[in-house]
Structure 1
Amino acid sequence: MSIEIREAVQKKEVVQFIKFAWKIYRNDAELNKYWVPPLIPDYVKTLDKRVYPLYEHADRALFTAWKNGEMVGTIAAIENRRHNEIHEDKIGFWGFFECINDQSVAKALFDAAKNWLKQKGLNAMRGPISPSMNDQCGMLTKGYDSSPVFLMLYNPPYYNNLTLKYGHYLEQELVAWYVDQQNIDITRLRRIADLVMKREKVNLRHVNMKDFNNEIKRIKFIYNAAWEKNWGFVPMTDKEFDVLADGFQQVADPDFIYIVENSAGEPVAFSLSLPDMNVPFKHVNGNPFTPWGIAKYFWYKRKIRMIRTITMGVIPAYRNKGIDSIMNAETVEVGIKKGINASELSWVLKNNEPMMKLAKAIKAEPYKEYAIYQINF
């Protein structure tokens, strides 16, 4: 039976594109045990070219694969012009990949993405990036025996085989580190943090939610300065950063957001950890806004015992001075007081030696790994 590729254009088709994932995970007891359904309203917004600010400098196409009249796979092709301007290359991206275990279907999906990107004048594609490096990225290759934490992805093991057999090669590896709070010597960590604060003449404070707009400007400055030379990094525009911040504000706990300032009151570092909202989201079946969804959301939200340290940045002038220990000590101490017993540091580039050493220093364990693949054409 031949495979038909269709482009999802209308909103109804986009929702159908998103909901296909349920077929992959709900029909497999082992996958369903750990998979967290995406929030449909959030995905609709992220894919809306009229709303999501990424598309002011990007474009995307959504493709679905059909076999015998039944949908059997999805993929998005993304052109990020801002990425190519900054990195001076011609790379396209693919993401939102879901597929039955059938190489012919995967090939048809990858071909659709490749052909669309080639028409844009690009000569390679990289993924999964859904839809940018500032969103969700990476294909799970290790750590299938636990659910993903907030804003991290989960997929069947066979997705990697489908990707590699198509001709992709491994471009980059990402690591998620698990931190058991009980394994941390908080007394020692606090002593180091206090010494660093005294030596570098810096202070840590919690983010001021009453001055949120100005705090976002300070964080944005650190973010763009700290990650400027990182692999694949693209500075967010003001609109992109504001949309991201607005989304985080809805779920963030200000007790886990820190800014480090020097003696002149200038921001030099920040750390953002978020509660693992996947704990309640796992139970609302993609929509927390139904009466039953709302009830489940608030019931399971009380059971959150883990956070995800999603980003920690230090401007270049203050790197390698132990500033990270200040933020780590505060995260652990606050977590203990609030009943948090674990955290995930993710994601970290596997070749980022300073961050890998930092994770090991606080006795973190690498428990999940992700791959980003690339193919040239």
Structure 2
Amino acid sequence: MAIEIRQVQNKKERKQFITFAWQIYRKSPELNKYWVPPVIEDYMKTLDTKLFPLYDHAELALFTAWKDGVMAGTIAAIENRRHNAVHEDKVGFWGFFECINDQGVADALFGAAAGWLKKRGLNAMRGPVSPSMNDQCGMLTRGYDSSPVFLMLYNPPYYNDLVLKYGHHIGQELLAWYIDQESIDIERLRRISEHVKKREGLTIRTMNMKDFDREVDRMREIYNKAWEKNWGFVPMTDKEFYFLGKSLKPLANPHYIFFVEDRNKRTIGFSLSLPDVNQALRHVNGNPFSPIGLLKYLWYSRKITMVRTIVMGVLPEYRNKGVDSIMNAEIADYGGQHGVHASEMSWILKANEAMSKLAKVIGGTPYKEYVIYEADI
């Protein structure tokens, strides 16, 4: 049985690359029950090297696998020059991996990605990273019995076998924490929050959507400083951060985006949570912008019951002072008042004991696990 690898060359083939996932998940009742189809238009932009700002300092190649003339899998290979400059290594990345349950097809896909990366002088590859650590990453290894929240991934369990049998090993493990807001001792959390605010001279406010660009700039400054010591972190450029901010603006609820300020009104921390729009997107089959898709999206958006806390960070000099409790109290308070009684904190490195401790303190449970794999090339 012949396996052929083809490199994507044009927009038509890029869309075919994206929509192959439907062949994996729609054919399996168990997978289809939880899978949330990606927004096709968003993925088209993410994989457009002329549009997506990551490619100002990265290169991308998309490959499809064909078995006996039938499409059988996809993979992207990414050389992120900015990552290698920051970390002083020679690591490439792979992502957007979808594959039938066939080791030969998977090996051909990983081989194509490895070959492309090796030609660029790289000696290792890491994934899934789709297409950077600031985007979607990690392969699900536990928690298949619920849908992914917004901007998190879902995959068949057999994908992990395909990856390991090719020769990958575990690089890092990631956790997603589920928090039942109704089980939080909100009065205790409020008392801690008020104590920290008084002790440190801090105040908290929601995002000012009328001053959107400056608010995004404040986020970028805190984000790059707060996360600079994290494994695999690469500071986002201004262009990348503003592109991300613009893309998320239609989904933003300012009552879930908080800024903590000191006595001099300097921003020392922020948290960004977004409604879990996957609860609506799962009903629109990847096309929320079609007339029917938009109507379905708006209808199901009314019933969202969960938020995802994507980023929570404070300046280094304010770490371990309880600033997180201020923001968590606000998230729980507002959610409780508006029928949103669940949240997910994700993703968090399993090795990050401080963040795991924080999640536990507010009643969190690590209900999903992901892995970023590595292999020498």
Question: Is 1:327 matched with 2:332?
Answer: no
Give 1:338 shift. 1.3
Q: Which secondary structure does the structure 2 equivalent of 1:14 belong to?
A: helix
Whole-angstrom distance in 1 between the partners of 2:94 and 2:229: 23
What's the counterpart of residue 286 of structure 2? 286
Residue 2 of structure 1 and its aligned partner are, at CA, apart by 1.5
Give the match's secondary structure for 1:354.
helix
1:205 matched to which residue of 2? 205
Determine the structure 2 residue equivalent to 1:33: 33
Q: Over residues 80-123 of structure 1, what are the superposed CA-to-partner deviations in whole Å (9 max), with x where a residue is unaligned? A: 00000000000000000000000000000000000000011100
Distance 1:133 1:198 in 2: 36
Return the TM-score normalized by structure 2.
1.00
**Corresponding residue number in structure 1 for 2:318:** 318
**Counterpart Cα distance in 1 of 2:58 and 2:302:** 39
211-220 or 78-87: bigger deviation: 211-220
Aligned to 2:100: 100
Query: Could you report, residue by residue, the CA deviation over 1:278-314 in whole angstroms, capped at 9, with x for unpaired residues?
Result: 0111011011111110111011101100000011001
Q: Who is 1:351 aligned against?
A: 351
2:115 aligns to what? Answer: 115
Q: Flag structure 2 segments of 5+ consecutive residues without an equivalent.
A: none
| 1:317 to partner: Cα distance | 0.3
2:348/2:355 contact within 8 Å kept: yes
Contact 2:95–2:131 (8 Å) recurs in 1:
yes
TM-align CA RMSD? 0.5
> Hey, what does 1:298 align to over in structure 2?
298
Which consecutive unaligned segments of at least 5 residues does structure 1 have?
none
- In percent, how many aligned pairs have the same letter? 66
Q: Which amino acid aligns with 2:344?
A: E
Aligned pairs for 1:17-28 (under 5 A) are 17-28=17-28
The whole-number CA distance in structure 2 between the counterparts of 1:9 and 1:81 is: 22
In the other structure, the counterpart of 2:220 is 220
Contact 2:142 2:370 in 1 (8 A): yes
- Secondary structure at the residue paired with 1:192? helix
The TM-score, its normalising length taken from structure 1, stands at 1.00
Q: Is 1:234 the equivalent of 2:234?
A: yes
TM-fit CA distance, 1:319:
0.3
Structure 1 segment 101-180 matched on structure 2, within 5 A: 101-180=101-180
Query: Per-residue deviation at 1:248?
Result: 1.2
Name the structure 2 match of 1:369: 369
| 2:255 corresponding residue in structure 1 | 255
Q: Deviations over 1:326-351 (max 9, x none)?
A: 00000000001111010000000000
Aligned equivalents of 2:252, 2:230: Cα separation in 1: 25
Aligned residues: 377
Which whole-Å CA distance do the structure 1 matches of 2:261 and 2:97 have between them? 41
* 2:251 alignment partner AA: V
The residue aligned with 1:54 is: 54
Matches of 2:101 and 2:300, distance apart in 1: 33
1:243 corresponds to: 243
Q: Does the CA contact (< 8 Å) of 2:182 and 2:336 recur in 1?
A: no
Distance 2:103 2:266 in 1: 54
Could you say which residue in structure 1 is the equivalent of 2:71? 71
Alpha-carbon displacement from aligned partner over 1:141-167 (angstroms, at most 9, x marks no partner): 000000000000000000000000000
